[in-house]
A = this chain, B = another copy of it.
Amino acid sequence: MRNIIRLGASPRISSYYSVVGSSEHEGPLGDCFDHFSLDDKFEKDSWEKAESEMQRLAVAGALKRAGLRDTDIDLLLAGDLLNQCVGSSYGLVDFDIPYVGLYGACSTCALGLALASLLYNGGACKRCACVTSSHFCASERQFRFPLEYGGQRTPTSQWTVTGSGAFIVSGIGDVAVKEIVFGKSIDMGISDINNMGAAMAPACIDTIKRFFEESEHSVDDFDLILTGDLGYEGSKILKDLLLSEGIDIRKIHNDCGLMIYDRKKQDKHAGGSGCGCSASVLAGDIIKKLESRELKRVLFIGTGALMSPLTLYQGGSIPAVAHLIHLEVNDYDS
């Protein structure tokens, strides 16, 4: 089993579009996002329908930015956190594109980009779209408590981002996907649903270690190692444990869950999470910084916690997964 899959044909991120809710719009990246809703409802009458609408808006926006129609896309890869991934299946049903459903929890953005890049690279598709989303209100009532209950949140809990990000992968664009490492499912015995960062960090460490063990690159070759989303708790664990293994990412690490909210002004506990967090940060901020050459080489590691409320009620701990994508601007060769 090899760890790194290298992509000879260099699939590119040809288009992208981000959609967020009100808290994300008020955060430090607020101006970066393409579309927002001030009441988080996106003109729909349920949180789940609002989440589906975010995915529809994100894919439509990415198509429009690229000057494409839905029938120009060979495959649409999508998934989300809702039971049976209905954010995706209901949001995308109007697009005339073959549909592949994914489940990677908060790693779904990285998983979709990885598979889309490989399907382009292998010649199966000329253009793939991928999209994911999460909605704070829909997630709270599904995974924890209905909002009306007014439950207290622990300091280690992360805040599910209301947001969506869509991408189109093809042969056109300045940002190339160069390498991929698919994550292994790893369960280190964490069973606290309010400390997902700790549950996901070990999977992230495993993937990053496997990358650097086999890569020709060192940490210093990258401008940014971006995780999504470990939050404050998980990021600290990640950096400390990697350091103890001789991999020092402290200077260039950031986490989408840390970037999307202002910790001083916004009461979001351990930071953002949810499929929509890394998807909207990548589509709203990181890809643009690569296109402008403010960033040139980025490792993006999407992390997902693969439990359900039921498995925790039954005494299970939380398996997690982390998929890695090496992004690079085309003309960068140092």
Residues of A within 8 A of B (CB): 1-2, 5, 46, 48-49, 71-75, 79, 81-86, 89-90, 92-93, 96-105, 111, 115, 118-119, 121-125, 181-187, 304, 306-311, 314, 316, 319, 321
Contacts and interface: CB of A to CB of B under 8 A. Distances in A.
Given A98-B184, A184-B96, A74 B1 contact: yes
A104 B105 contact: no
A30 to B, nearest CB: 30
The 10 closest A-B pairs by CB, nearest first: A122-B122, A98-B182, A89-B306, A84-B308, A101-B103, A99-B185, A83-B83, A103-B103, A85-B103, A93-B319
A78 to B, nearest CB: 9
Contact of A71 (B1, B99, B119): B1
Contacts of A115: 100, 115
A304 B88 CA distance: 14
Given A96-B184, A122-B124, A124-B122, A306 B101 contact: yes
Contact of A97 (B5, B119, B184, B187): B184
A11 B260 CA distance: 43
A46 B312 CA distance: 13
Contacts of A122: 118-119, 121-124
Nearest to A3: B98
A92 B185 CA distance: 8
Contact of A101 (B49, B74, B111): B111
A73 B1 contact: yes
A223 B24 CA distance: 55
A319 B89 contact: yes
B311 A182 contact: no
B93 A100 contact: no
Contacts of A49: 314
A102 B99 contact: no
A118 B111 contact: no
A184 B89 CA distance: 10
A84 B103 contact: yes
A46 B182 contact: no
Given A1-B72, A89-B185, A122-B118, A314 B48 contact: yes
Contact of A182 (B84, B100, B184): B100
Given A72-B1, A98-B183, A100-B115, A105 B90 contact: no
Contacts of A314: 46, 48-49
Contacts of A183: 98-99
Given A1-B73, A97-B184, A103-B103, 18 more contacts: A1-B71, A1-B97, A83-B308, A86-B307, A86-B310, A89-B306, A89-B319, A99-B185, A99-B321, A100-B102, A100-B182, A101-B102, A101-B103, A101-B104, A102-B102, A118-B118, A118-B122, A119-B122
